[in-house]
Amino acid sequence: MSTRLKILRVQAQLTLEELAQACDLTRSYVSKVERGVSMPSIGAALKLARALHVPVETLFGDDPVTDPVTIVRKRAADQRDADAGPSHVVSGTAAGHQMMAFVLNPTDKGLGAHPMSHHSGEELLYVLSGSITLRLARREEILEAGDSAHFNAGIPHKITCTKGSPAQVLIVILPDGSDEPAAAPSKAKRR
């Protein structure tokens, strides 16, 4: 993603600072994403795509293919995601796909370390392993392996693992299309 992000930024004739301001992110964070040091959160990826006037799958995807079926084999995903960090894209990177799926390995850091996220569309999460805390605005739910939640992604939300319990969560996002490029940068918080 890092090379693709830099190419898209240069094509858009934006400096790192201008892209960061348009996304309400720090220049340092955008630079880390561009250099491959950090993997963007879901909310940050949506903001970057919106600021660059491209579908979010363009940031992650390979060149468009004509086959309407995308299959990713485990061995290829393992190789590609070896350095992905706490989350990696599972599906939705091919051109024309609206849904995106991620596997997230949440940490147990508090809200101070990572603000709550919100973005347009719907979000579905399914706990693959472990136990997580899902914060939705002021509501808090503990979800165990096999539990799921489906909600309006515009509600501020945050996923953390319960203390001492590594967890893995499948997240599927279906944008509603209202993340169109804005005239001025929004004040949406990062995940």
- Given the candidates 2.60.120.10, 3.40.190.10, 3.20.20.80, 2.30.110.10, the CATH classification of the domain at 74-174 is 2.60.120.10
2-60: in CATH 1.10.260.40: yes
Nearest by Cα to 118 from 87, 176, 89, 157: 157
DSSP-derived letter for residue 106 is -
User: Is the four-CA dihedral 175, 176, 181, 186 of positive or negative sign?
Assistant: negative
Nearest by Cα to 99 from 62, 136, 64, 55: 55
Other C-beta atoms within 10 Å of 2: how many?
A: 15
Q: What is the pLDDT of residue 128?
A: 93
Predicted confidence pLDDT, tens digits, the chain (191 residues): 556 788 788 778 888 899 999 999 999 999 888 888 888 888 888 899 889 888 877 777 654 445 566 666 666 555 544 444 555 566 655 556 677 788 888 887 654 556 778 778 889 999 999 999 999 988 999 999 999 999 998 899 989 888 777 899 999 988 775 544 333 333 333 33
Nearest by Cα to 166 from 108, 93, 81, 103: 108
Q: What is the pLDDT of residue 188?
A: 38
Q: What is the pLDDT of residue 170?
A: 92
CATH 2.60.120.10 domain locations along the chain: 74-174
Q: Distance between CA atoms of 165 and 6, rounded to whole angstroms?
A: 36
